[in-house]
Chains A and B, each alone.
Chain A
Amino acid sequence: MGSGTWSTDVYDAATRYRRKTGASAFSYSDGGARTVHADLDPKGAFRESRDSAEHPHSLAIAVLFDVTGSMGRVPRTLQAKLPQLLGLLQRKGYARDPQIMFGAIGDATCDRAPLQVGQFESDNRMDDDLGRIVLEGGGGGQMTESYELAMYFMARRTGTDCWDKRGRRGYLFIIGDEMAYPRVKARELRKVLGEVGAEDVPLAQMVSEVRRRWDTYHLLPTGAAHARDSRVLAFWRDLLGQQALELDDLDAACETIALTIGLGEEAVDLDRGIADLAEMGSASTGTVSKALAQVGSAATTSSRLPAIEAGGPVERL
C-alpha cells in the first residue's frame, strides 16, 4: 500500500503521453558511450545562469552527483522526478525562476569521466543534459572521488546573476558517498579543465572559496550500513557542518533538494514543506524530514548575504 507514489498532475500526464517514448533516458550512456559528451565537457568551459525577459529573477541551482558504483542510480532517479522538482519549486513559490545545472563527479585518478557539467536550464532541456551523462556504473567503493575538482569548477568557472546582480548565493548540492581528495591537483586541472598555469589548491581553501558564491550542501546516502559511513559523514560535517545531510534513501534526493531551497529562501518552514511534499504525492517525506531536521531547526542557515545596491560595484572575492 503506502501512499500514492506517482504524481497525478493532469498537465504533466498529458505531456508524458504525448511525448514519444522509446529509448532509455540515458541513451548516451546505455548506448555504450564511455567518454564525456562534448556538451558536458568541462575543458575550457564556463557555465552561466543569467536573467532573461522570461526569467527575470534567476536563481542558480547546481546538482552534482557521484556516478560511480551504486551511485549510478542517482541520475535515473533525478530524471524521473525532475518535473516534480521544478513543479514544487515554482508552484509553491520556493523559487521564482530556478535555473538548474546537473553535473557528474567521478575519480580524476582513474575514471574516464572525472567531471561532467551541463548548462543552467529553466525548463526540461536539463533532461537532455542528464541523458548525456556517462554513468561509470561498476567499481566504486574506493572511498575517494574528485569532489574538490567539481568545487573548483563551481568556484571559478561559473557566473550567476543571482550573485552578480542581487548578491544572493546560488545553491550547490553534491550527492555522493565518498570523501574528497585533500587538494585540487594542478595536473588534473590541466588535464580535465584545460586550466593553464594552475597550482594545487588545498581542499579547505577550495571549500571556503566555493561557499562564498554557493550555498553548499553535501547529501550523503546512508544505505547499507557501511562501517565507513560514519567516517565519510564526519569528513563532510567537518567541512560543511550541518549542511552535510544524511539521506536514508537516495530516491528522496530530489525532494530534499527542493525543500532545502524552500527553507533557504525562507519560503516555507520544515512542517509546511513536508506537507507540500505529501501533497504532491511524495513517498519520501520521512526521509526528507529526517535529513533536514537540523537545517530546518536552525531557522534557515546563513544563505543570504546583504543585497548589493543595484548598479553598484560588485566586489569580486
Chain B
Amino acid sequence: MEHVIVVDLGYGDAGKGTVVDWLCASRPVHAVVRFNGGAQAAHTVVLPDGRRHTFAQFGAGTLRPGVRTHLSRFVVVDPLALAPEADHLAALGVPDALDRLTVDGAAPLATPYHRAANRARELARGGARHGSCGMGVGEAVSYALAYPDQAPRVRDCLRPALLRERLALLRDRLTAELGPLDAPPIDACVAAFAAFARRVSIVDGAEVARLLAAGPVVFEGAQGVLLDEWHGFHPYTTWSTTTAANAETLLAEAGATATRLGVLRVVTTRHGPGPLVTEDPTLGLTDPHNPTNPWQGSFRFGHFDAVAHRYALEVCGGVDALALTHLDLTDRPLLLCDSYNWTDRLAPNPDPTDLTRQAALTERLLTTRPTYDCPANLPAAIEHALDVPVLLTSHGPTAADKRARAVTAR
C-alpha cells in the first residue's frame, strides 16, 4: 500500500480521523493531503495517553511526528480557525504543526463575511435548514464559482492591497444581497490574513507531486459521499465534492495512483436533517463529539444501511477496501438493511447535474421503509452486502484499538 485515499461512504462522522491516524502510526506516511471541504471538518483523534484533538484543517496524522499536511486547491482555507487549532496542537505537545503545513495559493479563503452570510441564510430558512455547519464553507465555494477571478484566495494574503480590495468587494456584494453582516472590519481581516501569510508556507499546485515523490501520502476526505453536492440527497447536501474525484484529479496531475479505503460505522449516522432511512431513536446511542448544535441540529443514529452505502460506492467509483469503525458498540444486536420496501438499489443519476431528479429521490427516501436482517457476524455481512473486503476494524478511539483484518479470498 503506497498512497491511500480515505473517503467516508456515509453522511460523515464515520471515523476518517482515527483511520488516518492509524495509517500514519502504522506506516511511514510522509504527508496527509486534504482534497475537499474546509474548517467545518471535525476529525477526532485520541492518543493512548488520553490526549485528543479534533482536526478541522490539519491532517489527522499531525499527532504523529513529522507527518506533513497539505491543503490542496480544493480546500476552503480558514486562516482564522487555523491559528487556535495550531495552538491547541502546541498545547498537546505538538508545537510544529504550522511548520509542517503547506497551503496551495489557489485555494479559496473562508472569511468572516462568508460566515456571516452563511448564518444569515440558514436563519432565514428557519425549520427548513440544510444542516450547514455555519463556517461559511459553502458560501465561499459559491462565491468563488460566481466570481472566480475576484474571489479572495490564499495567495492574495501575500498582497494586502489586493486582498483588501477583494474583501471589500465580497463584503459589499453580500451586504447588498442580505443586508448588514455581523462581521469585523476589513482592516482587521487583512491584518490577520497577512499574519497568516507570514507564518505559513504558501505553495503552488506542483506541491502535491513533490509530496508524492517524497513518500507515502494519505488523501484525507472530509464529510461523506452521501453529502456530495451532486450525488447526495439534494437539498440536504454540502457545497463540496465528497467523492474521491478531487483526490484522483490531484493524483492524475502527478501521474500517480492510490489505493482507496472507504470508512463506515457499523451504524449509519447523520448529523442534521435529511434522509436517514434506517433511523432508530431506540438504539439509545450518543456521540460525545457530536452534540446537538444550532446549525446542524441533532446527531441521529440508524442501523447499517447497505442500500445507501452501495449507492455511495457506485457514485464514487468503488473502493479497494473498507475500514469499519465503532465495533465496540456491538455488544447488542445491530441490524443490517439490505433492501428498502421498494428497491435494493438506488440508481445513480444519469445526469449528475440534474438536481430535480435528486430532489425527487430525496422525497421518496423520506417515506421509504427499510427491511432488516440480523446478521450474526456484522463485519462479514457488511463485506458480503457491499462486495468489498474489510481491511480494518476499529474497536475504540485510539490507533491501538484498530485490528487489521485478514482479507479472505472471495
Chains A and B bind each other: yes
Q: State whether A13 touches B91 (Cβ < 8 A).
A: no
Interface size on B, residues (CB 8 A): 54
Set B51, B83, B271: member contacting A16, Cβ < 8 A: B83
Given contacts A4-B56, A11-B192, A14-B191, contact A283 B42 (CB under 8 A): yes
Question: Does any Cβ of A come within 8 Å of B88's Cβ?
Answer: yes
Tell me, in angstroms, the Cα distance from A154 to B84 when the chains sit together: 32
Contact with B along A1-26 (1 / 0, CB 8 A): 11111111111111011100111111
Stretch at the interface among B146-154, B195-203, B358-366: B195-203
- In the complex, residue of chain B having the shortest beta-carbon distance to the beta carbon of A75: B91
- In the complex, residue of chain B having the shortest beta-carbon distance to the beta carbon of A275: B294
Return A91 CB to nearest CB of chain B, in Å. Answer: 12
Question: Does any Cβ of A come within 8 Å of B112's Cβ?
Answer: yes
Given contacts A16-B87, A283-B54, contact A4 B81 (CB under 8 A): yes
Tell me, in angstroms, the Cα distance from A1 to B293 when the chains sit together: 12
Interface size on A, residues (CB 8 A): 41
Q: State whether A4 touches B84 (Cβ < 8 A).
A: no
Cβ of A284: which chain B residues have Cβ within 8 Å of it?
291
Q: State whether A76 touches B294 (Cβ < 8 A).
A: no
- In the complex, residue of chain A having the shortest beta-carbon distance to the beta carbon of B224: A1
Question: Does any Cβ of A come within 8 Å of B12's Cβ?
Answer: yes
Tell me, in angstroms, the Cα distance from A17 to B176 when the chains sit together: 32
Tell me, in angstroms, the Cα distance from A1 to B56 when the chains sit together: 9
Q: State whether B92 touches A6 (Cβ < 8 A).
A: no
Tell me, in angstroms, the Cα distance from A80 to B83 when the chains sit together: 11
Question: Does any Cβ of B come within 8 Å of A70's Cβ?
Answer: yes
Q: State whether B195 touches A17 (Cβ < 8 A).
A: yes
Question: Does any Cβ of B come within 8 Å of A249's Cβ?
Answer: yes
Cβ of A70: which chain B residues have Cβ within 8 Å of it?
50
Set B40, B191, B288, B291: member contacting A1, Cβ < 8 A: B40
Cβ of B199: which chain A residues have Cβ within 8 Å of it?
17
Cβ of A25: which chain B residues have Cβ within 8 Å of it?
90-91
Q: For residues 85 through 104 of chain B, which have their beta carbon under 8 Å from a beta carbon of chain A? A: 85-88, 90-93, 95, 98
Question: Does any Cβ of B come within 8 Å of A301's Cβ?
Answer: no
Set B12, B13, B40, B195: member contacting A3, Cβ < 8 A: B40
Tell me, in angstroms, the Cα distance from A278 to B291 when the chains sit together: 11
16 A-B residue pairings within 8 Å (CB atoms): A4-B56, A4-B81, A4-B133, A5-B54, A7-B80, A9-B80, A10-B184, A14-B191, A16-B86, A17-B192, A21-B98, A23-B95, A26-B91, A30-B93, A283-B293, A285-B292
A-B contact sample (5 more), CB < 8 A, given A1-B41, A13-B81: A13-B196, A17-B196, A77-B91, A79-B91, A283-B42
